[in-house]
Structure 1
Amino acid sequence: MAAEIITKEDLEIFGQKLLTEIKALLGKSSDEPKKWLKSYQVKNLLKISPNTLHKLRQDGTLTPSKIGGILYYSYDEIMSVLNGHSNKK
């Protein structure tokens, strides 16, 4: 097994490349919205209170899926409701 010597310059170059890649990954923003949103994201998107979101759930306007105690809302369903297509039963 041959030994390789790493110099300070090698480490600095590696560090710069690593920072550049991390910045690129963090800077990427998806143009496509998430398919499922949590309650706080829905409240921020619609600019509504927790009570209003609760009422939308109760009257059947929005039907969340519950996974592990967390409610998830379909982005497509939210957009459908905003466009006037009611999901009420």
Structure 2
Amino acid sequence: MSIEIMTKSDLMDFKSDLFKELKAFLAPEKPTDKKWLRSNEVRKLLGISPGTLQTLRNNGTLSFTKIGGTMYYSMEEINKVLQFPETSNILR
């Protein structure tokens, strides 16, 4: 029978890994479950920069609604944009 000695460092690594897994498990619902998304959620979902999102708004590719200082995008509109092959070049 062999004995393994756990150090304080081993326990700290375990704690860190455990917290990462718990955080991933308890993360809020995905933005795709929402009907309306904010700019930062759209950028994360599409993997684009703020400038690319601005271009999509300017050329009318992606419609939005501005309420106060916040822009909202319909998930339905985002799905439509993703279905057209000509927009795939913009999103890369």
1:60 corresponding residue in structure 2: 60
CA distance in 2, matches of 1:77, 1:61: 9
Percent identity, aligned pairs only, is 50
In structure 1, runs of 5+ residues without a counterpart are 1-25
Give every structure 1 segment of 4 or more consecutive aligned residues whose post-TM-superposition deviation is greater than 6 Å.
none
In structure 2, runs of 5+ residues without a counterpart are 1-25, 87-92
- TM-score norm. by structure 2 comes to 0.57
Show CA shifts across 1:36-74 (max 9, x none). 000000000000000000000000001110011100000
Larger radius of gyration: 1
1:75 corresponding residue in structure 2: 75
CA-atom RMSD in angstroms? 2.4
1:9 corresponding residue in structure 2: none
- TM-score norm. by structure 1 comes to 0.59
- Give the SS at the match of 2:34: coil
C-alpha spacing 1:69/1:46, structure 2 compared with 1 (3 Å)? same
C-alpha spacing 1:28/1:49, structure 2 compared with 1 (3 Å)? closer
Paired positions, count: 60
